[in-house]
Structure 1
Amino acid sequence: MGRAEERRARQRAGRRAAPKRSPRTTGSASVGAVGAVGTVSPDGAPVGGRAAARAARTRGKNGKNGKTGKSGIRRFFTWKTVLGSLFGFVLLVMGAFVALYVMTPIPTANADAMLQSNVYKYSDGSILTRSGKLNRETVDLAEVPKPVQHTFVAAENKTFYQDAGVDLRGTARGILNTLSGKGAQGGSTITQQYVKNYYLTQNQTVTRKLKELVISLKLDRKKSKDYILAGYINTSYYGRGAYGIQAAAQAYYHKDAKNLTVEQGAYLAALLQAPNQYDWAIATDTGKTLVQQRWNYVLNNMVQMHWLDEGKRQAMKFPVPLAPKGAPGMEGQTGYLVDAANAALEKQLVAQGTASTLSDAEALITKGGWTITLNVDKKKQTELERTVKQQLTSKLDQKKRAVDGAVQAGAVSVDPKTGKVLALYGGVDYFKHYTNNATRRDYQPASTFKPVILAAALDEGAKTQDGRQIDANTIYDGTSGRQVVDNGTKVGFAPPNEDDQDYGPITVQTAMNDSVNSVFAQMGVDVGMAEVMKVAGKLGMDTKGMQAVPAQTLGSMGASPMEMAGIYATLDNHGKKVTPTIIKSAERDNTAVTFPNPIGDQVITREAADTVTSVLTGVVDDGTAKTSVAANPARDGQQVAGKTGTSDNNKSAWFTGFTPNLVTSVGLFGEDPKTHAQVPMTGATGHVPGSPSGRINGGSYPALIWAAYTFEAMGEVSKFDLDTTQGAAVQPSVTPTLSQSPTTTPSSTPTSQKPTTQPPTSSAPPSSSPTTSRPPTSSAPPSATNSPSTPTPPENPLDPKGPKGGQ
């Protein structure tokens, strides 16, 4: 028998073995189905097929008698109930969204879309200026070149012409981030951004985001894409107080929107991501890099979307924006004051959580409605402006001397007891020089940093390499170009003194008077540069990113007049931290912004601060500021402390000084008017007082400006209340010999010593007419071993070689 026949035989046998259909019965017993269903026994139990198999499995799971069954929870959480619940939830959400869509109309423009003025006042309540005249001129989309229109789409929403006006995924992400407290996130379409700008607010709330979604959907159905794009580019904020593409074109390229090139349009489109950070005039190096990357991103997207030819794209160069033009009413010093106040308010809005970023805070302020009262005293502000003009700017003539055009002045005056900024000088004119010289931090403070080194030594109780306590009377080797040593090892730093002058063994007091680089370079290493920078930070210097290296003893970091005024105000305030504060109050919609107290904690001991103040009186009475400050006839016996500073190559010059009630820092900066690069100021004005070489040093114009302003603005004559037994304010100044230091090798006497034109000073307070000589005194500091008139050779002078340094 073949295989096929065998298979057919088996099939016939199977059919013969199949059970017969049971007759239909009455009652509860059901008739079993043939084969797959199985048969039913007289007692109702299945006896075959799949039904029997299921019954067997059930008995196996539920026990021998099959009476246990499923638990209550498992019966409830079946796939049917879960699926049904999910489906019901989806229907509920959809219903809620439909209801929200029906009930939410397209509103009228929000109040913030119609910009208001900000009112700025002096401390006495008189008006400084009003800003916020609507710097926006709406233009038809037809007036904007089509390629420029495309730059905004390429930058913000490549699917703009195809989408329904919303990005559901981006909106959902934004809502989740808002709920989880992660802050604002990107992802909105151009339609959504326009709705937010024009109809809603910048508040990051779930309600606002849902409204934005609904209104965007409705708007996209009712209005054309051109209408929405026109609204977007006309309401967006571009920085420089410019709302809308027309104002932005004027602000950055001094032209109308209809004349913008594709390259310029791409820059304006890139700006919208971070207007403050990407403004070329004030951007950091990082900001400039980021905006160029964004610009490239925009143009590359245009090529990808076939809106720009690849060849033309490759030939395009980044269009550097032109210098900003001042807004009406911002001329002179007004613009600098407003900018400084806005910057302070922006920082506080971010700190208290009102705005997520500085760019958001800037946009919030620019929208207007603020009343901002400054701490600036109107009379002192006028006096500072008059003094700078009288002492410096009236003497500058760029037509006669090209270098005169490079001289920039900045100054800040602070009340050390309250921290109030009483006056500020930002530059010759806000329209002519946009950068605020009072707050810029890109120039070296030079030797005005030396008091910080001494403050660190005194506060930390530091000692010299041979174990001597560092104070005003400690003796150091003032040899120019002397190698600095650390525990007997040369550190590779040997700064020369100004004009390579050798001073030999001198006290710290005399070293401060004459700004001796070699002494303070060694002192910085004795204290430890990490400790010096730590104290600098506590006093008010922004030390973030600064290296704790010996070169910093020359003040080689960047600092602003505002910053230096704060540091010296802290010294004047006996070591209690003073943060210069320009805003007295700021409010909007009857809601006031709360600012932190300008007077902080005790950051260095009172004795340390007062000793530094005492030492700094010697700079005025016997040192580098004697001619310009002490000899001023308007001084009238006023006690003064201060320090000069002149950077390497004469790129900056400073005088920061104070009386018991007024601290003022004056800085001069050499800046090329075209490239804005740092350049020397030597030779400016044609004749620099007290400087035959023509070098503008801290003791010349900066100190002259300081004295003329301070002695007019200070009020009644006053004296320092000092808790110290050291320094020129309480002790005479002497130049004794250098004591032995076991960490160095003896050598010969320094090549020269600065000649003395007068005997040591007396301990009496400065008079109104300082004399050129004072009676000698027999007292000497404890560490002095010989009369200053006959010094013995020092036992440890060091190698007088090293790189050039500034005063």
Structure 2
Amino acid sequence: MGRAEERRARQAQGRRAAPKRSSGAASGSASGSASGATAGGKKAGRSGIRRFVNWKTILGTFLGCCLLGMGAFIVLYMVVDIPKGNAAARQQSNIYQYSDGKLLARTGTVNREIVDLDKVPKDVQKTFVAAENKSFYKDAGVDLKGTARGLINTLSGKGKQGGSTITQQYVKNYYLNQDQTVTRKLKELVISLKVDRQTSKDDILAGYINTSYYGEGAYGIQAAAQAYYGVDASELKVEQGAYLASLLQAPSQYDWAVATDTGKRLVKARWAYTLDNMVEEGWLDSAKRAAMKFPEPVAPKGAPGMEGQTGYLVKAADSALAKQLVAQGTATSLDDAQNMVDAGGWTITLNIDKKKQALLEKTVKAQLTSKLDPKKRKVDGDIQAGAVSVDPKTGKVLAMYGGKSYLDHYINNATRPDYQVASTFKPLIFAAALDEEAKTQSGKTITANTVYDGTNRRPVVGSDIAFAPPNEDERSYGNVTVQTAVNKSINSVFAQMGVDVGMDEVLKVAGKLGMDTEKLESVPAQTLGSMGASPLQMAGVYATLDNHGKKVTPALVAKAEHKDRTVKFPDAIGDQVISEEAADTVTSVLTGVVDDGTARVSVRDNPARDGQQVAGKTGTSDNNKSAWFTGYTPDLVTSVGLFGEGAVGTSKAGQQVSMKGATGLVAESGRVNGGGFPAQIWAEYTFGAMGKVTKFDLNTTSGAAVQPTTLTPTPTRTQSSTPTSTPTTEEPTTEPPTTSSPPTPTDEPTTTEPTTTKPTTPTATPTDGIPDNPLDPNSQ
């Protein structure tokens, strides 16, 4: 046997013994075996799913699906006909009812006037094409990519589709509805293809601009031209047409009269995009485009029957219903939901109490609007009032005042969130301190009896951001309790308290109570109430305090019924968001604002009070652009706000302006403070609306409601005969001011608890150092 034969014999013997070897050897042997098999020209067979899945089966499956889809579409195309369109006839009335079922309003008369396309200037026609569908004159009426995206979004629940052509939008408006379903979208696709084949592009465009909803209750370009610019469609300029075309993307967001700053910025960008597209398509000269300025719409005119408070209530109810339709998944966007509401057929029952609503309207007129005379005093034309009344036990909105009349002032002052809440934010800082069991810089737990340094412009301690806020009228108070600081609304105390608690925690608690704090910076300046909020929001916040810390979300709508659906609204009473003791202690402290603080003249001394226990807080913003009183009894919470807004027709129309001098006020430089008109309106309404005298049932042992807040004046105190150089705006008290100088600021705030030992430096009581001025109802 030669060497080659011996080697082959050994290899063969090794292969036979392979199963007995280690795994590593087995692997090597198997590899060798595989190599041998390959060398011998034999291939290993496929196993498992690989025997059935290869590129041929994948391609075959794909082609099969395509053929099935095409076949299904052909069948769909054959069976779906163009329906009889009659959008105006489908419009139905909405019925709005008070809580007792009595009729509040009925809407549904469609504000639409059909105009022929030749009545609309050619360049205005092109603005709609440029804004929505540049390929309109060339396409087949559909955007397959956009429709596919819409179908996928609908199936996945991602929301509203984009990319529909003008033809598709016209079909949706005129032949179908706003439902976001796969069936509706497929029908839209088929009908659009057929409409495009059977109808001219001009007729489609005319149908589109005449059936679209532009906001302000306006359907069609003629109604929109009248609503926004006070002209007929034939008189529209190209820049005005570009705004109307831009509106169609989001009429509720882009409506200039009610748009937020973000909405205004977005619609301006959309307007510019539309005109730039016209230049790109050769429909507008670039030089003319460069010279164009954004055409701000005129003040809108409300529909007949919407005068007085009716329009405010109807629009607020529509908004609440639209939001709920989105929340429950019936609509994918607010604009789609608003279209569903505007289509009519709803019976909407509000929680509004007819008697309380009438009383609130009567009170605002008697206490404020009857005293305004814009012809005599220009500033009187700038005064806007808003108010909301809520049942703290149920969350029902019982009354709402949106302004003098919806037809005169389109913005609802009860729901607008753009004016500073000022000192009405201070109780929320104290609520955060109690709920978080916060401590002062010296380690003392913050309570109603904690003593702080109320010196004017005292720098806060413990903050990375320097802050030394002024008190009202630059007044210094020296050492005061938290109770006194609330009564007198002392800025320097609450700035320090906010830092002691931590501004992140303050804003977190404020958010839990109902304020919109997500976008606010956690800086000490927020302690002055520099954020905006509406009377509706503030009524909810204080209702939560009144409800012992259980969240109250004010509910305007009780129920909404339609022939196709019934909308259920969530419970207005939610979870416990702060502790009962924290909420009740805040309530207890806020009774001092009425009995010994900034609301005493307007509320405490009102003859209709009849012993009713009241808690509340005043607020007056910087430069006197807003003034507030939000207060409550055990059964009723009402927030009243006065806002300075430049009157229509003036150079500052719509801008925030000062209210100083309104109604001819001259005291305190004419300042309109929270303790004046807002508190007067609150008191007259609340004491007229209450059925019986009630007392708070509080789980607390501190605060003005459970402890006396005044001291008998000592015979040794005398009023200073030297007038101060700075006028005071503080509430009258039973004590004359002390002649003692306030302590100077120190690096560490005074936060020691009161003791029975008489301090060497006089400590201010809740009524200490405030001059008596019972004739001035407008102290802050």
- Answer yes or no: same fold by TM over 0.5: yes
5 Å-filtered alignment, 1:534-553, equals 534-553=508-527
Given candidates 647, 652, 655, the residue that maps to 2:629 is 655
Q: Following the alignment from structure 1 to structure 2, what is the Cα–Cα distance between the partners of residues 550 and 73?
A: 66
1:216 equivalent to 2:187? Answer no
Aligned-partner residue type, residue 313 of structure 2: L
Provide, for residues 745-765 of structure 1, a one-character-per-residue CA deviation record: whole Å limited to 9, x for no partner: xxxxxx9999995379xxxxx
**DSSP 3-state at the match of 2:664:** coil
| Paired residues of 1:336 and 1:430 also in contact (CA < 8 A) | yes
Task: Report the equivalent of 2:639.
Answer: 665
- Asked whether 1:136 is paired with 2:120, we answer no
Kept after mapping to 2: 8 A contact 1:113/1:235? no
Change (3 A) 1:90 1:793: closer
Q: Does 1:519 align with 2:490?
A: no
- 1:172 correspondence with 2:116: no
Please tell me whether Structure 1 or Structure 2 has the larger radius of gyration of its CA atoms.
1
Shift of 1:67: 12
Q: Which amino acid aligns with 1:538?
A: K
Is the alpha carbon distance of 1:756 and 1:160 closer, same or farther for their aligned partners in structure 2, counting shifts above 3 Å?
A: closer
In structure 2, relative to structure 1, the CA distance for the partners of 1:555 and 1:70 (3 Å cut) is: closer
* Mapped partners of 1:273, 1:752: distance in 2: 53
Asked if residue 791 in structure 1 is aligned to residue 762 in structure 2, the reply is: yes
Listed one character per residue, the Cα deviations across residues 490-541 of structure 1 (whole Å, up to 9, x for unaligned) are 8522222222222222211112111111221211112221111111111111
Alpha-carbon distance between aligned partners in 2 of 1:479 and 1:465, rounded to the nearest angstrom: 17
Report the Cα offset of residue 335 of structure 1.
1.0
Offset, 1:662: 0.5
Which residues in structure 2 correspond to 1:53-92 (within 5 Å)? Answer: 87-92=63-68
**Residue in structure 2 matched with residue 440 of structure 1 by the alignment:** 416
The reply to whether residue 681 of structure 1 matches residue 659 of structure 2 is yes
Q: How does 1:217-296 map to 2 (within 5 A)?
A: 217-296=193-272
Match in the other structure for 1:485 = 461
| Post-superposition offset of 1:588 | 1.5
1:614 aligns with 2:592: no
- Shift in CA distance, 148/467, structure 1 to aligned 2, threshold 3 Å: same
| Cα displacement (A) at 1:378 | 0.5
Kept after mapping to 1: 8 A contact 2:473/2:727: no
Matched, 1:556 2:527: no
Aligned to 1:504: 478
Q: How does 1:395-474 map to 2 (within 5 A)?
A: 395-474=371-450
1:577 aligns with one of 551, 555, 570: 551
Shift of 1:469: 2.1
Between the aligned partners of 1:426 and 1:790, the Cα distance in structure 2 is 49
Matched, 1:697 2:673: yes
* Distance in 1, Cα, partners of 2:756 & 2:55: 98
Find the counterpart in structure 1 of residue 772 from structure 2: none
Query: Does structure 1 conserve the Cα–Cα contact (< 8 Å) formed by 2:209 and 2:220?
Result: yes
Question: Deviation of residue 363 (structure 1)?
Answer: 1.5
Asked if 2 retains the 8 angstrom alpha-carbon contact of 1:116 and 1:367, the reply is yes
- Tell me the equivalent position of 2:579: 605
1:494 aligned residue:
468
The correspondence of residues 344-359 of structure 1 with structure 2, limited to 5 A, is 344-359=320-335
- Once residues 60 and 485 of structure 2 are traced to their aligned partners in structure 1, the CA distance between those partners, rounded to angstroms, is 87
- Contact 2:180 2:331 survives alignment (8 Å): no
Structure 1 residues 758, 108: closer, same or farther in 2, change over 3 A? same
Cα 1:113–1:551 change in 2 (3 A) is farther
* Other structure's SS at 2:675 match: coil
Matches within 5 A, 1:723-802: 723-733=699-709, 757-758=733-734, 783-786=754-757, 791=762
Q: Give 1:448 deviation, angstroms.
A: 1.0
Coordinate RMSD, CA, aligned: 2.9
In the alignment, the residues of structure 2 paired with residue 755 and residue 317 of structure 1 have an alpha-carbon distance, to the nearest angstrom, of 50
State the shift of 1:135 in Å.
1.4
Rate the CA distance shift 1:164–1:635 in 2: closer, same or farther, 3 A: same
Residue matched to 1:196: 172
Change (3 A) 1:782 1:143: closer
Deviates more, 1:392-401 or 1:672-681: 672-681
Contact 1:506 1:735 in 2 (8 A): no
- Shift of residue 184 of structure 1? 2.5
Pair 1:153–1:475, CA change in 2 (3 A): same
Task: Note if contact 2:424-2:617 (Cα within 8 Å) is conserved in structure 1.
Answer: yes
Which secondary structure does the structure 2 equivalent of 1:685 belong to?
helix
CA contact (8 A) 2:180 2:332 kept: no
Equivalent residue pairs, number: 699
8 A Cα contact 1:786 1:792, kept in partner:
no
Q: Is the 8 A contact 2:477 2:764 kept in 1?
A: no
Q: Report if aligned partners of 1:483, 1:490 keep a CA contact under 8 Å in 2.
A: no
Pick the aligned partner of 2:183 from 193, 207, 225.
207
1:565 alignment partner in structure 2: 539
- Report the 3-state secondary structure (helix = DSSP H, G, I; strand = E; otherwise coil) of the residue aligned with 1:320: coil
Cα deviation, residue 782, structure 1: 6.5
Deviations 1:108-145 (A, max 9, x none): 12678721111111101111111221111111112111
CA distance in 1, matches of 2:417, 2:234: 38
Give 1:307-326 correspondences, 5 Å limit. Answer: 307-326=283-302
1:96 shift after superposition: 2.7
Q: Corresponding residue for 1:739?
A: none
Indicate if the aligned counterparts of 1:505 and 1:735 stay in contact, CA closer than 8 A: no
8 Å contact kept, 1:503–1:752: no
- Quick one: which amino acid aligns to residue 661 of structure 2? G
Cα–Cα, structure 1 residues 61 and 185, in superposed 2: closer, same or farther, change >3 Å?
farther
SS of the residue 1:702 aligns to: helix
Q: Displacement, 1:648?
A: 1.5
Distance in 1 of aligned mates of 2:506 and 2:707:
26
How big is the shift at 1:180?
Answer: 3.3
SS in structure 1 opposite 2:656? coil
Give deviations 1:585-613, integer Å, cap 9, x for gaps: 11212521111111111111111111111
Q: What's the secondary structure of 1:610's corresponding residue?
A: helix
C-alpha distance in structure 2 between counterparts of 1:535 and 1:78, whole Å: 60
When normalised by structure 1's length, the TM-score is 0.82
Q: CA deviation at 1:64?
A: 6.3
1:46-93 CA-to-partner distances (Å, cap 9, x unmatched) read xxxxxxxxxxxxxx9999698999999999778777666655554443
CA drift at 1:201: 2.1
Contact 2:95/2:348 (8 A) holds in 1 = yes
Q: Distance in 1 between matches of 2:45 and 2:624?
A: 95
The answer to whether the Cα contact below 8 Å between 2:479 and 2:763 also exists between their aligned partners in 1 is no
Kindly provide the CA deviation profile for residues 217-254 of structure 1, in whole angstroms up to 9, marking residues without a partner as x: 11112111111111111111111121111111111111
Distance apart, 1:709 and its partner CA: 0.5
Task: Tell me, in whole angstroms, the C-alpha distance in 1 between the residues paired with 2:267 and 2:324.
Answer: 26
What do the CA deviations read for 1:699-748 (whole angstroms, capped 9, x no partner)? 11111111111100011111111111111111112589xxxxxxxxxxxx
SS of the residue 2:376 aligns to: coil
Task: Note if contact 1:507-1:734 (Cα within 8 Å) is conserved in structure 2.
Answer: no
Q: 1:73 to 1:388 in 2, by over 3 A?
A: closer
CA distance in 1: counterparts of 2:364 and 2:348, whole angstroms: 26
1:331 alignment partner in structure 2: 307
Q: Is the 8 A contact 1:403 1:684 kept in 2?
A: yes
Q: Is the 8 A contact 2:433 2:501 kept in 1?
A: yes
In structure 2, C-alpha distance between the alignment counterparts of 1:644 and 1:63, rounded to whole Å: 96
What is the alpha-carbon distance in structure 2 between the residues aligned to residue 525 and residue 663 of structure 1?
A: 29
| Structure 2 unmatched runs, 5+ | 1-35, 713-725, 737-751, 766-778
Q: TM-score when scaled to structure 2?
A: 0.85
Paired residue for 2:685? 709
Give me the identity figure in percent. 71
